[in-house]
A and B are shown apart, each in its own frame.
Chain A
């Protein structure tokens, strides 16, 4: 083959190579961004970046890791933009500490849960069940946007508080309040709908 043919077939092989990762990248992006078209956009950008600076990767796993790294950065870019463009909080996010606490605790002394957390037994078994994850996703969808962003960055991406604050332009305290609300609501939702303790 002459040089031109080599380049074209290289490019085609490259596209195939990258396309093999598209599904995984899309699932990853959708989980983080919770929005189909945004997920598609960042995956497109990631694959494009992959085409442009693809160098010799010794294996699929290495290439996937590299692409996922690019994808994570693009996801954080989206979060940063969204956080700065939508500074007004939703009602749920702006709720005062007292009002939020009233959802879960007796207003008189805050020393009684409205619904006492039961034991979940051996919850690990649930992780193997498709239905559990369907409910988990349904519960996660209820998170207001900014809370979802903070929760995703902390729990899915493993970013530390100060990194999250820097990217989203919030204080550490804001961050902790939002994580608290996310966890309280998610926990209650799962307890009600899966582990079987209706309030």
Chain B
């Protein structure tokens, strides 16, 4: 199975948020993330960003 480099992983991680990825893509991702802390951190950070945006102060209803 051809290995992904970090750049390809960053692109794929971003795309997992917007489309369904294939089994092969998932396997290749997992193989890379097992051995790459940088990309693992990147993944957590993407997840965090997604959650964070939805809690932007401007969206808060002051009466809630």
Interface size on B, residues (CB 8 A): 33
Within 8 Å by CB of A184, from B10, B54, B59, lies: B10
A180 at the interface (CB under 8 A from B): yes
Contact A60 B63 (CB under 8 A): yes
Contact A133 B45 (CB under 8 A): no
B55 at the interface (CB under 8 A from A): yes
Given contacts A111-B5, A133-B57, A187-B42, contact A161 B17 (CB under 8 A): no
Main secondary structure of the interface of A (DSSP, over half): helix
In the assembled complex, how far is the CB of residue A138 from the closest CB belonging to chain B, in whole angstroms? 13
Chain A: which residue is nearest B56 at the CB level?
A31
- Interface bits B24-64 vs A (CB < 8 Å: 1, else 0): 00000000000001110110111011101111111101110
Question: A-side interface residues toward B, CB under 8 Å?
Answer: 24, 27-28, 30-31, 60-61, 64, 101, 104-105, 109-113, 116-120, 123-124, 126-127, 130, 133, 136, 154-156, 161, 172, 175-176, 179-180, 183-184, 186-187, 190-191
Question: B-side interface residues toward A, CB under 8 Å?
Answer: 5-8, 10-11, 14-15, 17-19, 37-39, 41-42, 44-46, 48-50, 52-59, 61-63
A to B CB contacts below 8 Å, 20 in the list: A27-B58, A28-B59, A105-B7, A117-B38, A117-B39, A119-B44, A123-B45, A123-B52, A124-B48, A154-B18, A155-B50, A155-B54, A156-B54, A156-B56, A176-B15, A183-B49, A184-B10, A184-B14, A186-B49, A187-B45
